[in-house]
Structure 1
Amino acid sequence: MGARAGHRDRMLGGMSKAEPERRVVLPARPGRPPLRQVGLRLAVALGVLLVTTLIVWVDRKGYHDSADGVPNLLDSAYYATVTLSTTGYGDITPVSAGARLTNILVITPLRVVFLIILVGTTLEVLAERTRQQWRTKRWRAAVHEHVVIVGYGTKGRSAVQTLLGQGLARDSIVVVDPQRRVVEQAALDGLVGVVGDATRTDTLLRAEVPRAGQVVVAAERDDTAVLVTLTVRQLNKAATVVAAVREDENAPLLRQSGADVVVTSSSSAGRLLGLSMLSPNAGAVMEDLLTYGRGLNVVERPVTHAEAGRSPRECADLVVAVVRGRRILNFADPEAEVLNSTDRVITIQRVPAA
């Protein structure tokens, strides 16, 4: 673990401290969009400037312009601008008692409001940046045994929905994608996102892959999936890696690269289409099984204390396979006639009606 941390620190040492945090997008918090907040403050500041200009112009006879006597509307706007910004060149000054009283009671409070808006906006931007860096550091310190999803396209989003349906917490999922808009969408979905090329070690280090428990490789290209899998295995030997490929001929290459499970998306879709053509009802059942949270679900769970020592046929759920160590035993396998307490069973369960 210490060697992994040291390797990660060396990889991140070549970039500025703010760079990893900038590329990590944490789940979005509810609130007004930043541009809307800035726009609202700008409108208030312009309103204060306009009000001050009108006050000076209405009482223009109480002011003296060293250039041409009584200030006009443009002079009033100029005086309001330099006064609110505390510049005060002194070329236009209040000379009457009423104008000076107005400056004390009205224009000075407006000047304070104007400065609060400008300084407050600057401080909030700086505070938000600091808060973002603090949240990122706290997330890095806490994340462990999480799931990394490489690619947030159709396959990646479907994988996330299935994981969430099985009860996995959103803060335990990290999405890696090269497109910032995609990662920002993942953040809006309540997930942590990392912007970058997942074939590069520094990108996977930002996603804390060395401490991940599972990695799903859902890249758009098969060659990208191979490179990502190799890089993941270089950083984490123990994580379960599930990779998707388009072509059957690339599946052995993914397994050699270190993937524990390889899913061929095009072949799987083709087999489902063929099955649906021969038997629409069987195709509908398979689609139901593949869609988590509706109708029937395929679930892997541990053997309960009451089920240990009994036949899989005596379980309340329909058992289709038994996982014993690293082996998967078909329900008809003689070795699976009696369940051990350390076994896991793959069952088909009915989803309770909402």
Structure 2
Amino acid sequence: MRQDEKTATRPAKTSVLRYLWYRSHREARDDAEAGRSIEMPTRSSLHPLQQVLRRLMLALGVLVLTTLIVYADHSGYNDNSDGTVTFLDSAYYATVTLSTTGYGDITPASDGARLVNIFVITPLRVVFLIILVGTTLEALTERTRQQVRVHRWRSRIRDHIVVVGYGTKGRHAVRTLIGQGVDKARIVVVDSQRKAVTAAGDDGLVSISGDATRSETLLKAEAQTASRVIVAPQRDDTAALITLTVRQLNRHATIVAAAREDENVPLLRQSGADTVVTSSSSAGRLLGVSMVSPVVARTLEDLMTLGAGLDLVERPVTQAEAGKNPRDCTELVMAVVRDRKVLDYSDDQVGTLRPGDRVVTVRHVVVETEE
């Protein structure tokens, strides 16, 4: 009976091992595919061409140093052609020695020259080869390192923010998020333009190149585990498709979409957007206010620009503020959020502030000037 039980468990163990092998193989394949479209933030400030040039300059420096060492003791070397070693012969000897070619036409003859070759030139040869071979190895291993970084990032990223579109709207949205204290590591940029993806990578953000209307692209951005998604493409129809795709992948994420025209706002809301910001009408209203009252327009611009002058901030009610009227707070309270309802500060339903309320206040930010 025990023998039958052991025999019966073998297929189950084999199936588990096959599943684990298939899963690891699939993850490796997905990481390799993602590594070609996901661009991680660059750690080095030098351009790859600058790195190669720097290595070549180091190799040239080792070659010049070896030449000077050989020429300083050129009398201890023997040239089979004419018996004397000139500066050109020293450079020639250093080149064939460091490159391990070694024709044998110039050889160290004295004991001092041989000791210098053992304790000085041989280590320099090793350094020279490391510099040159290191450049090749770095180029060969860059793809593997990229896949490792992508796999580590995909396994750790959770509750992050996905920004679709890194144009003017997307860049300013990212800057505002960073200004509000959001870590760059929690922001992922998706854009179909390679130039925009490169710009996001230069800004220290994880960026993905691809069509965000396709679920494969959003899955690479781990949109299914994101907490917030900002949809800011150039076209409203594209924004609607992206919003619909994001909502299918993630039912709980907060989606904020940008629309150019007011007539497309209902479509974006039906697609799953929680908040829709109309760029053209907002700009038009700001233009109209500017004509009537430029001071009011500058104040609105100041409120919308984070980190300078006046800022609109949403925060929880403090213990000291609980039980007070919004007008009695030290900061100017514009609205109160209670039970998911936004109430104007003058609304009779507000009464006094309660624990658990959130308030939208105007905060004065002191801009530090460089001396």
Deviation track 1:275-306 (CA, whole Å, cap 9, x = no partner) reads: 11112222122111111122221111122233
SS in 1 for 2:349: helix
Which position in structure 2 is the counterpart of 1:180? 194
Q: 1:289 aligns with which of 297, 303, 306?
A: 303
Q: Quick one: structure 1 residues 15 and 227, their matched pair in 2 at CA, closer, same or farther if it must change by over 3 Å?
A: farther
- Extract unaligned runs of 5+ from structure 1: 1-8
The residue type equivalent to 2:128 in the other structure is: F
Q: TM-score, normalised by structure 2?
A: 0.76
Are 2:240 and 2:267, in contact at CA under 8 Å, matched by a contact in 1? yes
The Cα of 1:352 is off from its aligned counterpart by 3.6
Structure 2 residue 128 is matched with structure 1 residue 139: no
For the residues of structure 2 that align with 1:353 and 1:74, how far apart are their CA atoms? 63
Tell me, yes or no, if structure 1 residue 23 matches structure 2 residue 37: yes
For 1:200 and 1:62, the matched residues in 2 are separated by: 72
Query: How many angstroms apart in 1 are the aligned matches of 2:244 and 2:97?
Result: 64
- Separation in 2 of the partners of 1:14 and 1:133? 8
- Aligned counterpart, 1:113: 127
The alignment yields a C-alpha RMSD, in angstroms, of: 3.7
Structure-1 residue corresponding to 2:237: 223
Quote the offset at 1:64 in angstroms: 5.2
Counterpart pick for 2:246 among 232, 247, 250: 232
C-alpha distance in 1 between matches for 2:323 and 2:350: 11
Query: Which amino acid letter does the alignment assign opposite residue 318 of structure 1?
Result: L
**Separation in 1 of the partners of 2:144 and 2:260?**
43
CA distance in 2, matches of 1:337, 1:230: 40
CA distance in 1 between counterparts of 2:52 and 2:46 reads 10
Partners of 2:121 and 2:209 lie apart in 1 by: 48
Q: Judging changes above 3 Å, is the alpha-carbon distance between structure 1 residues 298 and 109 closer, same or farther for their aligned structure 2 residues?
A: closer
Query: 1:6 is matched with which residue?
Result: none
| Structure 2: unaligned runs, 5 residues or longer | 1-22
8 Å Cα contact 1:176-1:193 kept in structure 2:
yes
Letter in 2 for 1:182: A
The alpha-carbon deviation at position 94 of structure 1 amounts to 4.3
Q: Does 1:152 align with 2:166?
A: yes
Displacement of 1:262 in angstroms is 0.5
- For residues 34-71 of structure 1, what are the alpha-carbon distances to aligned partners after superposition, in whole Å with 9 as ceiling and x for unaligned? 32121122234356567889979x99x94558xxxx9x
Query: Structure 1 residues 32, 96: CA separation in 2 closer, same or farther (over 3 Å shift)?
Result: closer
> Structure 1 residue aligned with 2:279, among 251, 261, 265?
265
Task: Tell me how far 1:142 sits from its aligned partner.
Answer: 2.8
Q: Could you give the per-residue CA deviations for residues 235-261 of structure 1, whole angstroms, max 9, x where no partner exists?
A: 111111111111111111111111111
C-alpha distance in 2 between matches for 1:106 and 1:353: 58
* Distance 1:283-1:77 versus aligned 2 partners, 3 A rule: same
Match for 1:37: what amino acid? Q
Structure 2 residue matching 1:335: 3-state secondary structure:
coil
Residue correspondence of structure 1 range 1-354 to structure 2 within 5 A? 17-46=31-60, 62-63=78-79, 84-86=98-100, 93-94=105-106, 97=109, 101=114, 108-126=122-140, 128-352=142-366, 354=368
2:297, 2:257 → 1: CA distance? 24
Question: 2: CA distance between counterparts of 1:290 and 1:94?
Answer: 75
Report the Cα distance in structure 1 between the residues aligned to 2:134 and 2:56, rounded to whole angstroms. Answer: 12
Cα pair 2:307 2:367 within 8 Å, conserved: no
Deviates more, 1:255-264 or 1:111-120: 111-120
Question: Which moves more between the two structures, 306-315 or 146-155?
Answer: 306-315
The one-letter code sitting in structure 2 at the alignment partner of 1:218 is: A
The alignment of Structure 1 onto Structure 2 pairs a total of residues equal to 340
For 1:177 and 1:13, locate their aligned partners in 2 and report how far apart those are by CA, in whole Å: 24
Return the TM-score normalized by structure 1: 0.80
Q: For the residues of structure 2 that align with 1:329 and 1:53, how far apart are their CA atoms?
A: 81
Structure 2 counterpart of 1:149, which letter?
Answer: V
Structure 2 counterpart of 1:34, one-letter code: P
Q: 2:66·2:124 contact (CA, 8 Å) conserved in 1? A: yes
Flag the 1:277–1:98 CA change in 2: closer, same or farther, 3 A.
same
Q: 1:63 touches 1:96 (CA, 8 Å); kept in 2?
A: no
Secondary structure, aligned partner of 2:217: helix
Q: CA 1:331/1:154 → structure 2, altered by over 3 Å: closer, same or farther? A: same
* Native 8 Å contact 1:297 1:351 kept in 2: yes
Aligned counterpart, 1:4: none
8 Å contact from structure 1 (residues 85, 115) kept in 2? yes
The farther-off stretch of 330-339 and 160-169 is: 330-339
Partner amino acid, structure 1, of 2:197: V
